[in-house]
Structure 1
Amino acid sequence: MERTLPYAMIMFAVLATSAVHATEDVATKIKRQSQEFSDASASGDTKTLARYLDDHVIFINEGGDIATKKDITTPGPGAPKGVTNQLVQTDFNIEVHGKVAVTSFTDNATVHVGDQTMTPRFRSTEVWLDEGDAWRMISSQTVALSDDPPATSLTAGELDQYAGTYQAAPDFTVTITRQGSQLLSATNGAKPTTLLAEVRDVLFTPGQPRARRVFERDSHGKVTGFSSRREGHGVEFKKVS
């Protein structure tokens, strides 16, 4: 006797398959639109930006500024002559929840200024809404990904000037020592980490590009302390030994 699936089960399987295909179609569409939005941002194509933005979009750029659709789509002066920018998305992820799609990705920029090239990176999340006639962006937030700056070499005598113990509070001290051509920093006796010089009197820890130590000197050129800065905010350390 031949066995057949009940009609209801057949219809459920068809509907489930259709839903998967619809989700895949939406994911492909949103990925394309998102890259086109990045392309338009790089080139200043305000018509494409306007087409993909909801009128009430909440948009936070990499500098933390909140922009309206009008702010984004108003033509600006454009890039100076000899400056080009390209944005290529990687690490693209998308979750579709009915009429809402949430994405995350990395925008990899290639900026040419004459014969110089910069490659900054930005990580974004976007929220897209199916508004019936089109999918439009209703929210976006971007953060700039920091990279270590180029390091400069200092002489042994210059490195020795930073060696010592610095204090921000009675129980918060940093000790800097020199080992060969390298500076090491230890906070409250913890395991030392490497310090490199971005320029004279501005040091950083590799892998922590958001932070800087800006050293201060007296009128005789002697190091008296440093400011440990992150995003423009600093904690002052005075040299105690």
Structure 2
Amino acid sequence: MRCFLPCAVTVLAALAVAPALAAEDIAAKIKRQSQEFSDASASGDVATLARYLDDRVIFINEGGEIASKQDIIAPGPPPPKNVSNHLVQTDFQIEIHGKVAVTRFTDNGTFRVGDQVTKHNFRSTEVWLDEGDAWRMISSQTVALSDDPPSRALSPRELDEYVGTYQAAPGLSVTITRQGSELFSATNGAKPTPLLAELRDVLFTPGQARTRRIFERDGNGKITGFAARREGNGLEFRKTS
């Protein structure tokens, strides 16, 4: 009886810690499974993909395509020789809500084709459900993180060709100016932002890799306007001065 109070305190302390430890164990388990799923996606390991996917999973890939479990685990052609894909997760965050776990992370991809190496990053969120015998993915959505393309230098004569005012409609105009060896763009008199050339007549604003300005010329080679493109769609601007 003399140990009743210390024993009771010990039991209560253990009960208080147990849920935190259980949640921590679940978080580690989901993190491991999520990385294994990324590994399986990169290598084409359909057995692992099938094991971790719920039969009714709602899956949207980085291209915006909707895929079912059968779409994901369907065997494809063998990868070409000298081609590899490696995905490493970073910035992993998880929130556990009872039997549901919601994650957020970045997949850092390294793609090798022979001696060439390219790197691509993808941001994902996944939802995992405790189905009794295992935690399985019931939802996933991924977006590709865009990087600025390499830029090329333009000659003074080439830079001057883009200078002017362009209008899409009354009340919406863009003015391109030149300052030394750089171009700047301002919409409706706003603060000018840099404008770089990816290729001749293909310009972009740093930090806005999803957009391009595709310039058009007449039969004499004079610029007549540009198409402001964002993921294949956009507005036409005509040069007014």
Superposition TM-score, scaled by structure 1 size: 0.96
**Secondary structure, counterpart of 2:162 in structure 1:** coil
How far did 1:190 drift? 1.0
Matched, 1:213 2:216: no
Shifted more, 179-188 versus 120-129: the winner is: 179-188
1:119 is paired with a residue of what secondary structure? strand
Across the aligned residues of Structure 1 and Structure 2, the Cα RMSD in angstroms comes to 1.6
Matched ranges for 1:35-184 at <5 A: 35-184=35-184
Sequence identity (%): 70
- For residues 82 and 199 of structure 2, what CA distance do their matches in structure 1 show? 28
Deviation at 1:135, TM superposition (A): 0.5
Match of 2:21 in 1: 21
Judged with a 3 Å threshold, the aligned counterparts in structure 2 of structure 1 residues 6 and 82 are, in CA distance, closer, same or farther, namely closer
Q: Which runs of 5+ in 1 are unaligned?
A: none
C-alpha deviations, 1:203-238, integer Å up to 9, x for none? 000011011000011111110000111111111100
Question: In the aligned structure 2, how far is the partner of 1:151 from the partner of 1:15?
Answer: 60
Q: SS of 1:161's equivalent? A: helix
Structure 1 segments, 4+ long, off by >6 Å, are none
d(CA) in 1 for partners of 2:45 and 2:212? 37
Query: Offset of 1:79 from its aligned partner?
Result: 2.2
Q: Deviations over 1:138-161 (max 9, x none)?
A: 000000000000001111111111
User: 2:204 corresponds to which residue?
Assistant: 204
Which amino acid counterpart does residue 97 of structure 1 have in structure 2?
A: H
TM-score relative to the length of structure 2: 0.96
1:45-95, Cα deviation, whole Å (9 max, x unpaired): 000000000011000000000100000001111322111100000000001
SS of aligned partner of 1:62:
coil
Query: C-alpha distance in 2, partners of 1:2/1:104?
Result: 47
